[in-house]
Chains A and B, each alone.
Chain A
């Protein structure tokens, strides 16, 4: 039975449980719901919850664990002799899985008996079924694949039986507890509360997953490639035949340069826009301009990327870079920085606007009373009071800029170099994560794994910036009340 169908079946048992449990409670109270401890629906809910939740959790766990266990068992039967030159255990295992899938397809098409197929002709038969294999199937691999299929089928059957049994057991247990004195509401509410707690730990699990996967693969990378080189080398030159230089500095330089230019655009524009909207603009101007600026934050980054690629890049090249003799590439640090700056304007302006509005009116009135003009008030009273918040906003924008991917992928170029000319194409950490992980590459090579080290660097950087931003905002915030 497929997992989806199984889940549906469990839900059906639960639904039946609700109806039957409710009926049972009422009949136990001989039709008088006043003699029940809880409302009749709660008795039904208790049966439904016990029938559905443990079984579904078990099903999810089984689905994750079964392939791992089978891989381990089948992998143990493959001897080093079965692994061709230049291949690895994991590649052979993926072949085994492909063949097993192919055998499923053949079986579904009505092949007589898949176990009796001849390994020698299997490749062409699988190709007919739409599964392409790199080389002919060795008998040992074929055996492993049939073994894999047998185990998978056995596992699936065991799963079906176990899940249905668990669901039925939950049903029976909850059902047997139904008496008029049974405190069904308390049980159900405790159960639901446990579910709520479970849901809220997903956030923790996600962070844990991110950190673990990054750290695990990064240590794997550093076993294949010296960490000193990664952190100290000034060249980035991946070779897919090995012997690459994977120094992070050119990428960091590109990232910081692009982010710097982006902030150079976004910070002044964002802060001035916030000041204007908060202090000068009339109600009508504010009501139209503020949402318009915020649309900029809602536009997907791929749109900015395309804008950089087809409009800004060629324009900068034709009207600035080429006449000035600074370069002839349409993707450049300047292109990416400028477009990213536009994207960041609302991040700076919205937050700054809120913070400026939070400065109490009394401070403005005091300043005006001493004869200051409006701009003097803004510069000498409001901005100093709002500064921590604004710095926080700028740091958050910086963290966005460093982690931004699509704009730099489409606007900044792919050449890893350290140059001061902003019209030169450079590359960033995020661009290289994408390019190292999207090609058809072997997963165990340092050229691929370096992406995880880059990802960890990125994660640490942005996390640091965010924590710093929160710290500054909290520490230097003036309390006005």
Chain B
């Protein structure tokens, strides 16, 4: 950085002859220019190993300050599920009208934890990684994508815990809870496409938010609030039907078009109620996945040249 303007002395002038250099610019490229969209996507593909290794390395070192280490990757979601169960299931009794409430709650809380983590860390991925951005030349979209993938890696133990819990205590009854049998069959596999589509939605949202946060840091504070609202709009701890008989129909519409609710509903249907997920949920989720990915990619790509600057 140069001296402040006041310290500089202005009157400097040259006596050397002015020279004009003419050249043919065919051979040259503009340094740091943003490539075309297709080319950009191809570049991201070329950096897939970096992406995967970055996600892997950071996941594996995530808990290395704790003496219990990766045990927390399992313990944390367990405790969280327990807290939600205690407050909403036991004290507030939101379980009315829900079959297999314990399984319903476990799937809701733990899956939403993944969704929330992916969006929050993805949105901070450019602003929080300025060092890396300024040191290396790679397509910047690698960072939001990598952070979402990292969240997926980190959540794998959680999903295993979730499956085990749902299978063993998902249909456990306390007091007046209603119950249906949980059977382990091939329909449980619907979980994978649902999470995959969810991952695409998260990546798309991360790409959009990463650019916004990189330009306007203030948005970070709003994201926390937004995620909280989203939590309540996704029927994580209560059932949608709660609103049906009270004239709040618009809330139901919002929920039906909410990708997070779609993911939760599909997984619940597959695991708890022996179904394949309503087709409408799949359509909405698929639409979100395609839309968010396309729009997110375009928005992020258009800002490609702005991410490296000082803030």
A binds B: no
Measuring CB to CB, which residues of chain B are less than 8 angstroms from any residue of chain A? none
